[in-house]
Structure 1
């Protein structure tokens, strides 16, 4: 704010003037005095170049015409921040993507999940935007998230990430399989040689090594 177009008319006579910006008449038949400095407010224009035309008619019948350009630039940045996005258990509920967009000139965003546009609209700077992922948690596997945003100043931002929906199978401990063996055959005990670390979104593999034991035969 506080930006002005500043000009004066060099004439021995007072008169009238018109001012147009981008083809829109801003001042119509304004009057000036000899030596007067005229200020025209130039706030509120979008980023880019803007044309200015000034035409003057003095009381002695002479005319003058002046054309120029001024530019509006932005020092703002558009920044997208994801505050919460996790991996989720299959068919779980109350799961949300939480993100915000920062810009001095907030405008518009679009959210895609798995290459499908699922939400769009205007945003306010640094205000949380929540999107429920409960309709996605019924689908196992990896899912892509892409967010694009643009401010009124034309500054764009984008971010891409992913989350995983993992199965909710429980991991059972080793039981005495002798109870499950109807023919009472000797059971070879299994020993874990890999540690079990349950991390959402990962596939857990188990490796077993069978201990050697002596089995007495009955003759």
Structure 2
């Protein structure tokens, strides 16, 4: 969650990359190479940890429904794993950095044109509803429906249900939502922080209870004076 939080801070305080025109995008990356690379890595990195988190949730909830827990775990872990191989992050693409280098090295406009065209394809992919994103939200919804049955806080469970439902709609309608898509991101961020705390508490050893006093004759405890 620290990675996502850092990414959100950097996203809010740095100049936004162009939302169209491949040539402008590649020129922007060339001028802001380091910060652009950091942004992409911060969006990608949490996927590795979220694979572990959702696997842990599926295991913790398996007694609430083995089949649903297995399906939810498979969908969640696979979708976050596949997100690492997807060419875009929703905020850009690491591939654009390589295209920017090639674009800068090209000596003529004709030589630069193919790189600018490739950049426009990647820009467009950032706004296309991806199956991976929809699967991630379905995983959140299924896991949260299991949580409603117990083990975790009811408030946490219903927040997860709301996050999953809003997420499915947000991912499907992503091209037309614009900044409204961020509402899903905020819900997911809050839910994941709460989940991290809940898993930590669930895995923490509970203090052992001391032996109870043995009642003595007459109904008094042996420990009583």
Please give the TM-score of this superposition, normalised by the length of structure 1: 0.20
Higher strand share: 1
Q: Which has the higher Rg, Structure 1 or Structure 2?
A: 1
Higher helix share: 2
